[in-house]
Amino acid sequence: MEKKPFRIAVVGCGNIAGAYAKTLEPYSHIQLLGATDVDLTRAEAYVSTYGGQVYASLDELLADEDVDLVVNLTIHHAHVEVIRKCLLAGKHVYSEKPLALDGRDAWELVKLAEQQGKRLSCAPMTILGEAQQTAWKLIREGALGTVRLAYAEVNWGRIESWHPAPGPFYEVGALFDVGVYPLTILTSIFGPARQVTAFGKVLYPDRVTKENVPFHISTPDFAVAAIEFTSGAVARLTTNFYVGHHSPQKGIEFHGDKGSCFLNDWQNFSGKVEFTEFGGSYQPVPYVKESFQGTEWARGVVELAEAIEEDRPARITGAQAAHVVDILCAIQTSFGEGHPVAIASEFAPPAPMDWAR
C-alpha cells in the first residue's frame, strides 16, 4: 500500500509563513492541508499561493481529524495559548520561537505534550544546517581540543527598517526574538547552562516605522550575557536591535585548547565554516555535505515529521526550547536585578544528523 502523506496545517500567515511553505515544497511526503489566521484575508492569500483550505478559525482547524501536526507561526505573545489548544486537541506541534516568554509556561507545555502523548518542537532549528553541523562535527571530533569559550554575536539591525509590523518584536526584545538562535546552537553543543551574568539597556528608545509613524520602546534593545555551561565552557552572547548586518561582529566563534572554529552565520545553512590551530590563520572547512543555500525554514518540521513516523527521538524538542527560555529569563533577571542567576533545568541534547556523524 502507498504510504499516506504526513499532513500539516499552519496557524499564523504572517511574514515567515511563506518561507516555510516554499521550503516544504520538495517534500512530497508532507502535505499542507490549509491555514488559518486572525486576519482571514491573509489565510486566503496564503492558500491561494501554496494550496490547501482556509480554516475559519483555529478551532475549525483543530476539529479536522486529518491534521497530524500544527505549525504555529503566530506572534510571540500568542505562542503559549495556541500551543496549549493544539496539544489539548490531540495534535503534534511545531512552533516558531520562542516557545514561551516565561520558563514556567514553557515547561508546562512540555509536560502537557508528554501527558497528551504528542510531540512538541520549537524553532530555531538552525543546528540542523550543513554549516552548523560541520562546525559541530569539528568540535565533537576534537579538532579544537577542549572548548572553553564561545563568542556569539547577534547584530540584528532595526526591525522597523524592513518589517511592516515591528511592534511585537520590540515588545519581546532582541534577546527573546533572535538570541534564541545562537543559544539553541550553543546548548546543542555544550548541553545545559547553569548560570548567567548579564547587562541590558534601551539604546534607541524613540523610533519611526516605514510609514513614518513614531513609536517608543521600553524593553531593552541591547543585552550582553556571560553564560556558564555544565560542560565547563563559557559563552558571551550579545544581542541587539540597533547595529546593522554590516557589522563585522557576527556569527559564533568557538575557542579550544588546540584551535578555533568560526561559524560566520548562525542562521544560514550556507554560512562559512573556518578553522585554525592555536596561533594560526583561519582556513575554510568543507561542509560535511552540500549545503542548502540560505535557511531551509521547514527543516525542523520535516525532522519532526520523520521522527514521529520513525518513532525515534526528535532532534528539535520542546524541552530544549524550554531550557533556552530559562536562559533568556535568567539573563533578563540578571540585568534587571544586577546579579548572577542560576539555572536548574535539564534537557536531553540532540543527536547530530545522520549525514554529519
How is the chain split into domains, by residue range?
Answer: 6-122, 126-356
Query: How confident is the model over 91-119, as a mean pLDDT?
Result: 98
Given a cut of 60, is residue 118 above it in pLDDT? yes
The residue among 1 and 252 whose pLDDT is bigger is 252
Judged by average pLDDT, the poorest of 163-172, 276-285, 322-331 is: 163-172
Enumerate residues 6+ apart whose C-beta is below 8 A from 32. 8, 9, 10, 21, 24, 50, 51, 52
> Rounded to whole angstroms, how far apart are CA atoms 349 and 46?
35
Residue 105 pLDDT = 98
Query: How confident is the model over 93-120, as a mean pLDDT?
Result: 98
Given a cut of 80, is residue 218 above it in pLDDT? yes
Instruction: List, as own/partner pairs, every contact residues 36-45 make where C-beta atoms lie below 8 angstroms and the sequence separation is at least 24, other chains included.
Output: 36/9, 36/10, 36/11, 36/60, 36/61, 37/11, 37/12, 37/13, 39/13, 42/13, 42/14, 43/13, 45/13
pLDDT above 70 coverage of the chain, percent: 99
CB 141 within 8 A of CB 282: no
Of 81, 77, 66, the C-alpha closest to 112 is: 81
Phi, then psi, of 235 in degrees rounded to 5: -125, 140
Query: How confident is the model over 39-49, as a mean pLDDT?
Result: 98
Q: Is the model's pTM score more than 0.95?
A: yes
Residue 2 pLDDT = 62
Q: In terms of DSSP bridges, do strands 273-277 and 259-263 run parallel, antiparallel, or are they unpaired?
A: antiparallel
CATH 3.40.50.720, applies to 6-122: yes
Query: How confident is the model over 1-17, as a mean pLDDT?
Result: 90
Residue 1 pLDDT = 55
Count of alpha carbons within 13 angstroms of residue 10, beta-carbon side: 34
Among the CATH numbers 3.40.50.150, 3.40.50.300, 3.10.560.10, 3.30.360.10, which is that of 126-356?
A: 3.30.360.10
H-type alpha helices, 141-201 = 167-178, 180-190
CB atoms within 10 A of CB 23: 18
